[in-house]
Amino acid sequence: MNTHQIIPNLFRTEYSKIVAVMSKSFGIEHLEIAEDIASETFLLAAETWPYKGIPENPTAWLYTVAKNKAKNYFTRNRIFRDKILNELKSGNEQWNTLDIDLSHENIADSQLQMLFTICHPVLSEKSQICLALRVLCGFGIEEIADAFLTKKETINKRLHRAKEKLRSEQIQIEIPNEVQLQARLDAVLRITYLLFSEGYYSESNNSLIRKDFCLEAMNLVYLLLQNGLTNTHSTNSLMSLMCFHSSRLDARLTGNGEMVLYKDQDETLWNTELIEKGFYYLQQASKWEIASKYYLEASIAYWYTVKEDSQDKWKSILKLYDQLIQIDASPMASLNRLIALSKVKGNNFALKEAEKLQLMDNHFYHLVLSELYSETDREKAINSLQEALKRCKTDTEKFFIKNKIGSI
């Protein structure tokens, strides 16, 4: 692997680790200093590795340089140094007073604590997602802006306001106490769920599927699973859901990037290893005598990895959707339930249920209607597709719908 390949790969995996550890050492108010140190470390790698060669242990090289850069900053910036020393309640100005521990264990702890900090309720959901992508996933500003179809200036302002909010509210980088933990964990799981959902079916990016978003979301949930306090029913359920969904990513688009419906997917492209991992985490989650939203969604996703198109399969999916809607009656759950309902009780029955939803502004609603009308009313099927075309946002979906209209 050459420097043009290894440095971007390492940036994605190591940038967030360096930032998390430095921020934990300096405090959240110095998050930007931690980011600068990490960025300068990778800049030095980009400047020297092409000429001096890639180090034998590139990760160790990055950690050593980051420590040295932190030491230099600490030494030359008296205001910063005095503040850190004051917080440490020590008059000793030697560098070893401030321990930069880049061990595997401390990195994992720091990343987990940073995840809870970023998902603090003082921040808006959009700010939490942007910070997670930048600080914990190592995404560049331009990359985040492209993902959400906005300007770099908008993302920069959003990040700046979020950091300022954490600073002004004096939020600590830590895992919440036992009283606050469950509520805060729910917020963390929601953000990772939204991050994964944006990757699995992006409505704000023409790529439609962003595998990198899915992978980063799974990495964050894996961090939670490594800690006894956050290895819970919901965490295992969410990891199971992500594994099952990720197992079919390669089958959801053609080689040309065109959408492929579930019924038309090439099952040989399904990732059996991820399906097995999904089943493992689902079994772990079942050890708790509860059934969370994520557990029900994971159970549904499991059935979608079962290849045979049997009545038992669709009856099980329908039953799970009925349970899910009892605790989370979202439009997407209701729409997906209609597909299972049509498989069990027929299209006409499902159409009557669809009429009750009246989700006229939702393009998925019109796509589902077109499927339900496809066998009995060609004109209504086409009209539904045209309504969906007016409302969908991505070029990939528009191309798919136009082809669908032409084929009816």
Q: Poorest-confidence range of 284-293, 323-332, 391-400?
A: 391-400
- pLDDT bracket for residue 84 (50, 70, 90): low
- Token duo for residue 141: 């500003």
- pLDDT bracket for residue 88 (50, 70, 90): low
Which pLDDT value is given to residue 150?
84
- For residue 396, is it within any domain? yes
Q: Which amino acid is at 354?
A: A
- pLDDT bracket for residue 94 (50, 70, 90): very low
- pLDDT bracket for residue 95 (50, 70, 90): very low
Most confident of 24-28, 101-105, 341-345: 341-345
Between CA 137 and CA 44 the distance in angstroms is: 20
Rounded alpha-carbon distances, angstroms, from residue 178 to 2, 115, 224, 230? 47, 17, 15, 11
Residues with Cβ < 8 Å from 56, sequence gap 6 or more?
A: none
pLDDT at 92 over 50: no
Which pLDDT value is given to residue 86?
64
- For residue 289, is it within any domain? no
164-187 average pLDDT score: 91
Which pLDDT value is given to residue 394?
83
pLDDT at 57 over 80: yes
Range of the domain at 398: 317-408
Which pLDDT value is given to residue 306?
94
103-120 average pLDDT score: 93
- For residue 260, is it within any domain? no
- For residue 159, is it within any domain? no
- For residue 345, is it within any domain? yes
Q: Poorest-confidence range of 108-122, 222-236, 387-401?
A: 387-401
Of residues 90 and 253, the one with the higher pLDDT is 253
As for how many domains the chain has, the answer is: 1
Between CA 261 and CA 400 the distance in angstroms is: 10
The mean of the pLDDT values for the chain is 90
pLDDT at 403 over 50: yes
- For residue 346, is it within any domain? yes
- pLDDT bracket for residue 93 (50, 70, 90): very low
Between CA 41 and CA 18 the distance in angstroms is: 10
pLDDT digits (tens, 9 = 90+) for 212-233: 889 999 999 999 999 999 999 9
The pTM of this model reads: 0.87
Q: Are 226 and 232 in contact (CB under 8 A)?
A: no
pLDDT at 269 over 50: yes
Query: Which residues are registered as beta bridge partners of 253?
Result: 259
For tokens 């360096």, name the residue: 18
pLDDT digits (tens, 9 = 90+) for 363-389: 999 999 999 999 889 999 999 999 999
pLDDT at 100 over 80: yes
- Map residue 106 onto helix, strand or coil: helix
pLDDT at 98 over 70: no
Which pLDDT value is given to residue 168?
94
Which pLDDT value is given to residue 307?
87
- DSSP per residue over 280-346, as a string? HHHHHHTTSS---HHHHHHHHHHHTT--S--HHHHHHHHHHHHHHHHH---HHHHHHHHHHHHHHH-
- For residue 276, is it within any domain? no
pLDDT at 90 over 70: no
Of residues 123 and 137, the one with the higher pLDDT is 123
Which pLDDT value is given to residue 78?
65
Which pLDDT value is given to residue 91?
45
339-356 average pLDDT score: 94
- For residue 297, is it within any domain? no
Q: Which amino acid is at 383?
A: N
| N- to C-terminal Cα separation, the chain | 48
Q: What angle do CA 20, 22, 26 make, to 5 degrees?
A: 120
Which pLDDT value is given to residue 304?
96
Share of the chain above pLDDT 70, in %: 93
Q: Poorest-confidence range of 131-140, 263-272, 314-323?
A: 131-140
For position 376, which CATH number holds? 1.25.40
For tokens 């090439």, name the residue: 266
- DSSP per residue over 218-247, as a string? HHHHHHHHTSTTT--HHHHHHHHHHHHHHT
